[in-house]
Amino acid sequence: MTRASRARRLATAAAYGGGGVGLAGAALVTLLREEARAARRRVTAQRTQPDPPTGNGVYGRGRATPIVFAVLGDSSAVGLGVDNAGETPGVLIAAALVELAERPVRLVKFARSGAVSRELTGQVERALPEHPDVALIMIGANDVTSRARPAESVRALAEAVRMLRAAGCEVVVGTCPDLGTIRPIAQPLRVLARRWSRQLAAAQTIAVVAEGGRTVSLGSVLGPSFATDRTLFSSDEFHPSAAGYAAAAASLLPSIADAIGVWPAAADRGLRLRRDTVRPVAQAAARAAGRTGTEVQPTEVRGRETGPRGPWARLRRRRPPEIPTPEQADEAARTAVPS
């Protein structure tokens, strides 16, 4: 079975109510669960810092109506592992959007450390009264380590995207990161964690694109470079450091900006054709899962959204842009008008 067919199988199970699609045998699932519990105990023992400040507030000045930017998901969206609001992905991206849009941006964060996909509905319900223009969702790692049923996780994410899109909000999802780089997870289970997280990321992409959202692969952002450069991890060796979150924010920013029409066309000039291709969504999802910063979004071919192998999707790999440094973003956070 190919990666594309496995991802399609998971996404299909989510769409039609199946919850029993397994990624490995019951014995291996039990083994990973025990190892995950041990890893969580080690991470908890090393964790000495609370969640950073939310950074919620209005960034930038001017009379224009602020762009409302909502951040939902788990500890990666919270920014767990850093001390200052200006080091979190939400504030880094909000500060960059101010420069790109030349408008104020209001950040509203509803992410929660430890969250799994089934909790997204509650986060969305709290976000909708804020009338967000664009939402970032970062989710999936806890679904893998807790061994949540993959199809149920994908279905919950799809429902969250559907609710946001129905309200007119653009949605960008940072898919499940590559857990194969996490040292507290021992080998050989680390290899399985990598495979499971990539399969979940691919299935997430199929489901999100079907609901009209976009995804950006964070698998490799938290993958090879993290495996060799431990400065990208915080002290608990599970969550990113400030440098790690900056790398993730740089990968996410172009898709978020493009979704609301403020990404400059000039920034994409010179992209090679191989970095901007159209494929059936299952193939696109499988390809994106292991490639740093690859965006997948719905598209059409000859006026049709669907081909003989399913819906069409566009893969696009942009060069990570310059974003405000954590120091600049932190200064913006200190001067932001609380919302």
Q: Which residue has the tokens 């000495």?
A: 48
Residue 157 is predicted with a pLDDT of 98
**Is residue 33 classed as helix, strand or coil in its secondary structure?**
helix
Q: Look at residue 238 in the predicted model and tell me its pLDDT.
A: 55
Task: Please confirm, yes or no, whether 75 is among the known catalytic residues.
Answer: yes
Instruction: Judge whether 211 lies within some domain.
Output: yes
| Catalytic residue from among 75, 217, 234, 255 | 75
Specify the CATH number for the domain of residue 158. 3.40.50.1110
- Strand-strand pairing, 310-317 and 294-298: antiparallel
Pairing mode, if any, of strands 105-109 and 57-59? Answer: antiparallel
Within 159-255, strands assigned E span 170-174, 214-216
Query: How many domains does the chain divide into?
Result: 1
* Residue position matching structure tokens 């909708």: 128
Q: How many CB atoms lie within 10 A of CB 101?
A: 18
Token pair recorded at residue 159: 């429902």
* DSSP structure string for 82-140: BSSGGGSHHHHHHHHHHHHHTS-EEEEE---TT--GGGHHHHHHHHGGG--SEEEEE--
- The answer as to whether 266 is a domain residue is no
Query: Could you tell me if residue 278 is inside a domain?
Result: yes
- Look-up of token digits 């939902």: 72
pLDDT tens-digit series, residues 284-301: 998 888 787 899 999 999
Is residue 113 among the annotated active site residues? Answer: no
Q: Kindly name the residue from 236, 241, 251, 258 that is annotated as catalytic.
A: 236
Mean pLDDT by 10 residues, the chain (339 residues): 58 46 52 61 57 94 94 94 91 96 97 95 98 97 84 96 98 88 58 80 95 89 47 51 87 96 84 69 88 90 90 88 76 78
Beta strand 67-73 pairing with 105-109 = parallel
- Annotated active-site residue 239? The verdict is yes
- Joined together, the tokens standing for residue 197 give 């997280």
Domain that holds residue 310: 3-261+271-335
* Within a domain: 326: yes
pLDDT number for residue 23: 44
Determine the pLDDT at residue 337: 82
Residue of 239, 241, 251, 258 marked catalytic:
239
